[in-house]
Amino acid sequence: MMEHAIAREKAARLVAEMTLEEKASQLRYDAPAIPRLGIPAYNWWNEGLHGVARAGTATVFPQAIGLAAMFDGQILYEIAQVIAHEGRAKYNAASAHGDRDIYKGLTFWSPNINIFRDPRWGRGHETYGEDPCLTAELGVKFVKGLQGDGEYLKAAACAKHYAVHSGPEAVRHSFDAQATPKDMWETYLPAFEALVKDGDVEAVMGAYNRTNGEPCCGSKTLLKDILLEKWGFQGHVVSDCWAIRDFHENHHVTDTAPQSAAMALENGCNVNCGITYIHLMAAYQEGLVTEEQITDACIRLLATRFRLGLLGDVKTPYDAITLLENDTDEHDALALKAAEKSMTLLKNDGILPLNPEKVKTLAVIGPNADSKLCLEGNYNGTSSRYVTFLAGLQQACREAGVRLLFAPGSMLFKDKSEVLSQRQDDRLSEAVAIAEMADAVIACMGLDATMEGEEGDTGNQYFSGDKNDLELPDAQKRLLSAVAKTGTPLVTVVAAGSALRVEEGNAILWAWYPGQAGGTALANLVFGKVSPSGRLPLTFYHGIDELPDFEDYSMKNRTYRYFEGKPLYPFGFGLSYTEFIYSDACFRDGAVTVTLKNTGKMDADEVIQVYVKCDSAHAPLHPVLCGFKRVHVKAGEEMKAEIALTKNAFTVVDDQGNRLPCEKGVLYVGGSQPDALSRQLTGKECLKIQL
């Protein structure tokens, strides 16, 4: 791959031929063409969180939180490869027709590696969950898959939102996230450091908020001191969209747009998503920025375009990719595999998998049963192959000779008035009636990205995309209660991007936002073609009364590492249709080896998890994840697995933010956390290895 130094050298030669005004123009996200130098227009804004987004037909994979639930870096790497491939196909087609508009470029502003510290945050489903180890490991795999390993970058990844950003959405433009040095270096920064140092991520996006008083997109501490100097970042920095405008309009750390542009540029923000950098020339004329600063930023940006093979008279292996290689059967099969591996079984009294010999009539109810929106999540593309939960179950029932009855039963959203409450219940009796006639009920409940998501998402503007509680909408709660009273065995399927308190049902299956193949995946799991193998990438709580204030960024009593109570369901938890027995665990040369036997009757995946509890006053309250591996074991067979541990496994972070070695402690290896609730839910202990 073209080295950063070579790309910088090429860019410097080209930039030397530009006027100051031309250099400044290239720092906009919608950079104009410079025909005399053979530089085409380029729009830096594109999205690829779980598939090429907002650019027409593309493969839609499970939302990021569902991808995290796979606990599988290799499959995430393959998914990122597909995103880059489809992105190249779209770029080649669009540019060949002179279309260089937004969402047509090769700089994808993904992944979102913020820590999902509080389940109320609406954008949490864009992340890989609450754990720094899981987030870092998956983030690096995504970056490497997206950027490729050829002579040129296949696409450019972007680590966002740097840093200490995870709600609330309503105040993100003015909020100051206060975090201690320990929390910064133990929780909020490790994933960014990993993506820079281990993933060679090409871009980093600043956050809207301030962190410890400094606006993130103009923070000397975050951008200059840590990112550029301490970590040696070689790529480019982009602002979040219109975040630099917040400097003077909301954060009030500057008075004018030229001052805001100068603060961002001075501290290392190279490209502005927004319009504030149109004031760079005014800032220059006022003596607030130098030509050298503008030149350096321009060189960094053109270096990325050289690394992508977009400048100069070059040919790349990716130029021949056409739209025939977009939206393929192979990509759809990978989307199905990901959906199957992400869905997480939280409860099962034996009703699952359904037996067609006993379940002759199946009732499917719920507002998400026939919804495409609940498959997508946000920052999504548009699939040509959506299979809703209802459609997937209908196909499976036809094949099994099972009669399927359907009634939505309720609307999706929350009550806003008594009149609306009555309207929401006007289909309830129909759902109850078919439940009474059925041998089993599948209730497709939950949310979609209009109810949890980014500020301004249409359905939840009154909470700016965040959740004000951890409950299902009231109409859905009434529906579940009414159906449960029929006594018909109930399987509750929840599509959501976060933690909710759901306890009704003989079985509970968390589907996340499972992508275009969600319905097929659900049917395959429900009827036992595949064993569930997803694991929770975040803690499920009983309610928000167990949590600190939403605006409190301290990690005290947050996430599985520091939570002082008993969760509803613990991080790392998920049930299977089979049983795995662990034995012969040992630690040697930075890895844990363990023997795993599938004692059940189904071939199945298992997610091996390794946790460490360091013997130090600086260690988190509970053992922390330090390695994981997904394996496939055939029924009745056993295998020996090796799980490499992270380089930070035997370290702790002190109150000053220093990472210190810790040589004493205990390792735990098993299919879940070594906590009491996991033992209770699984009936198993984790194996211990004394360090």
**Which residues of the chain fall short of a pLDDT of 70?**
414-424, 457-463
Around 174, how many Cα atoms within 13 Å sit in the side-chain half-sphere? 5
Q: For residues 498 and 65, is the Cβ–Cβ distance under 8 A?
A: yes
Residue 497 to residue 66: CA distance in whole angstroms: 8
Which residues, 6 or more positions from 617, have their beta carbon under 8 angstroms from its beta carbon? none
Q: Which CATH architecture has domain 329-562?
A: 3-Layer(aba) Sandwich (3.40)
Report the pLDDT value the prediction gives residue 413, as an integer from 0 to 100: 76
Residue 182 to residue 141: CA distance in whole angstroms: 26
Q: For residues 379 and 47, is the Cβ–Cβ distance under 8 A?
A: yes
Q: For residues 123 and 110, is the Cβ–Cβ distance under 8 A?
A: no
Q: For residues 28 and 43, is the Cβ–Cβ distance under 8 A?
A: no
Q: For residues 87 and 356, is the Cβ–Cβ distance under 8 A?
A: no
Residue 632 to residue 639: CA distance in whole angstroms: 9
Tell me the H-state helices in 123-225: 132-147, 181-183, 190-197
**Domains 40-48+71-289 and 580-690 fall in the same CATH topology:** no
Q: Which residues of 334-354 are buried (b: 16+ CB within 10 A; e: fewer)?
A: bbbbbbbbbbbbbbbeebbbb
Instruction: Give, as one character, the DSSP assignment of residue 250.
Output: I
Report the candidate in 146, 157, 142 with the shortest Cα–Cα distance to residue 76: 142
Which residues, 6 or more positions from 14, have their beta carbon under 8 angstroms from its beta carbon? 37, 39, 302, 311
Q: Tokens 């998890």: give the residue.
A: 609
Residue 353 to residue 524: CA distance in whole angstroms: 9
Query: Which amino acids are annotated catalytic?
Result: 240, 452
Residue 106 to residue 93: CA distance in whole angstroms: 12
CATH 2.60.40.10 fits 580-690, yes or no: yes
Sheet arrangement for strand 604-614 = 624-633, 604-614, 665-670, 687-690
**With left for phi above 0 and alpha for psi between -120 and 50, is residue 270 left, alpha or beta?**
alpha
Residue 131 has which token pair? 């754990």
Q: For residues 612 and 650, is the Cβ–Cβ distance under 8 A?
A: yes
Tell me the H-state helices in 349-473: 373-376, 389-400, 418-424, 428-437
Instruction: Give, as one character, the DSSP assignment of residue 122.
Output: G
Report the pLDDT value the prediction gives residue 456, as an integer from 0 to 100: 72
- Domain spans of the chain, in order of start: 40-48+71-289, 329-562, 580-690
Is 40 exposed, middle or buried, given 0-12, 13-18 or 19+ CB atoms closer than 10 A? middle
Q: For residues 386 and 375, is the Cβ–Cβ distance under 8 A?
A: yes
C-alpha distances (whole Å) from 329 to each of 80, 261, 332, 333, 334 are 16, 46, 5, 6, 9
Q: For residues 478 and 322, is the Cβ–Cβ distance under 8 A?
A: no
Report the pLDDT value the prediction gives residue 326, as an integer from 0 to 100: 98
Give the 3-state secondary structure of residue 592.
strand
The backbone torsions φ and ψ at residue 344, rounded to the nearest 5 degrees and listed phi first, read -120, 120
Residue 16 has which token pair? 């030397």
pLDDT tens digit sequence for 607-619: 999 999 999 999 9
Is 285 exposed, middle or buried, given 0-12, 13-18 or 19+ CB atoms closer than 10 A? exposed
Sign for the pseudo-dihedral over CA of 352, 355, 358, 364? positive
Peptide bond into 163 cis (omega under 30): yes
Fold of 40-48+71-289: TIM Barrel (3.20.20)
Which residues, 6 or more positions from 593, have their beta carbon under 8 angstroms from its beta carbon? 584, 585, 586, 587, 640, 641, 642, 643
Strand partners, 407: 365
Based on DSSP, count helices (H) and strands (E) in the chain, helices before strands.
Answer: 20, 23
C-alpha 512: how far from its chain's center?
11
Strand partners, 158: 203
Q: For residues 113 and 160, is the Cβ–Cβ distance under 8 A?
A: yes
Report the candidate in 181, 78, 70, 187 with the shortest Cα–Cα distance to residue 136: 187
